[in-house]
Amino acid sequence: MKDDTVMKLLRQVKSGEVSVEDARVALEDATLTEESFAAAVDHGVFNDVKPGTIVRASLAPSGDSWLIILVGLWGILWTLYWAGALAYGLFNHWDQQLLSFNLAMTMLTLIIMGIVYLKYVLPDVVIVKHRRNKYITSHDTNSWKKYEV
């Protein structure tokens, strides 16, 4: 879908390499019926996939951005700072309020780093799994209770 001819042509029109009239002339012979359009839209939405299939998003996030690297370094430095202050305070018998503040700041920094990792670094991958059929063990039917609503 990313390297489709139509998408390539749209990018060229956007950049100004190809005029709109030339793009219309290039797409004059293209035909698309309503059935093929509906089948293309419905494909992947209403078709059942096999169990264990890995479905990837077409636009996966990217973790190679400089901003993500800077946030990671920032998080590591602050986590080391707050964890070091917590360890120093434990050895020097600081009061519990200051120790709990240092622990909370350490945990908050780790949570922020985890959110950034999940949002911008981890790829969007879904593994399709289906429920198994229920297995009902054989019991004595005389021991069943009848409930009425």
pLDDT in tens, 69-101: 899 999 999 999 999 999 999 999 999 999 999
Residue spans of the domains in the chain: they are: 5-49, 66-127
Check: CB of residue 75 under 8 Å from CB of residue 112: yes
| Residue type, position 84, single letter | G
Q: What is the pTM of this model?
A: 0.48
Q: From CA 118, how far away is CA 135, in angstroms rounded?
A: 36
pLDDT, tens digit (0-9, with 9 covering 90-100), for 9-28: 878 888 888 888 888 888 77
Q: From CA 26, how far away is CA 52, in angstroms rounded?
A: 41
